[in-house]
Amino acid sequence: MKLKEKLLKICFKLKTMKFKVILFSSIIATTFASCSMQKANTRDNAFKYFYEEKPTAILIMPPINNTTNVDAKEYFFTVLHSPLANAGYYILPPLITMEVLQSEGAYDSEIFLEQNLSNFGEIFQADVVLFPIIHKWNKIGALGTIHIDIEFIFKDVQTGDVVFSRYGEFTYNANKSDQSSILATLATNVAAATLTDYVPVARKCVNLLITDLPLGKYHKENTVDGKYRVRLGDRIKASL
């Protein structure tokens, strides 16, 4: 009888503990849930500048290339124009702006990253300047995996304030669809070494980096997108 009572007591204690654990877990889960509820943000809350100042024109600076891949600058510069125009902004004509920047000795964007940008407003009539910074372009091994780190910094020309920024860490596997034979893959890589076109890869990076960017005046959802939920943080990781 005593043994049975003891067992019952132990069972009761265990049940109570289990209940407490479940209760505690629920509290934690609720806390996290409410935290993420608080974090759930809309574009007009997260990027107030765009809804208050309504910028129209964006100047895209030549990318700052901190890598040893000399082509990375062109990969990114040539794919920036279309996604930003598709987001509803007037994008300063890239060929002309490049020519003007070069003639003014302003081709190296890093010089202007921390400078007063009001001249850009006067010369180009831009509201916002985009500084793309390529931090990493590392090809790992012979299997064609590439690690790309790229950051976008959008600055208001008048105040110099950062109005939108995102840092992306991307991994691209050139042979994702063909892993049947390492030898075949290596052979393919040797053949493709000079032919690989990374323009589509750069395009994918850009599309992720500008996700959540408020829409400009030429986009038909320009007046309603403020209530869209912000989907990505200011630092993202993705496999392409």
Partner 1 sequence: MYYWGKYDDSFYSQQKNLDDKSTKKLLAAYKDIISNAEKGVRGVPPPGVYADYGFLLIKTGKESRGQLMLEKEMNLYPESAIFIQQILKMMEDQTEKEAGK
Query: What residue ranges bind partner 1 (CB under 8 A)?
Result: 56-57, 71, 74-75, 77-79, 81-82, 85-86, 88-96, 99-100, 123-125, 199, 203, 218-220
CB of 126 to partner 1, least distance (A): 8
| Token reading at 35 | 């935290």
Q: Which is nearer to partner 1, 139 or 203 (CB)?
A: 203
Q: Which is nearer to partner 1, 51 or 90 (CB)?
A: 90
CB of 77 to partner 1, least distance (A): 7
> Within 13 Å of residue 226, how many CA atoms lie on the same side as its CB?
11
CB of 174 to partner 1, least distance (A): 18
| Bridge partner list, 229 | 42
Helix axes 199-209, 72-86, angle to 10 degrees: 50
Q: Which is nearer to partner 1, 76 or 152 (CB)?
A: 76
CB of 25 to partner 1, least distance (A): 47
128-140 and 57-60 strand pairing: parallel
At which residue do the structure tokens 């890598």 appear?
Answer: 67
For CA atoms 191, 193, 198, 201, the dihedral sign is positive
CB of 176 to partner 1, least distance (A): 22
Residues in the chain: 240
Q: Which is nearer to partner 1, 36 or 103 (CB)?
A: 103
Q: Which is nearer to partner 1, 41 or 128 (CB)?
A: 128
> What are residue 155's phi and psi, to 5 degrees?
-120, 140
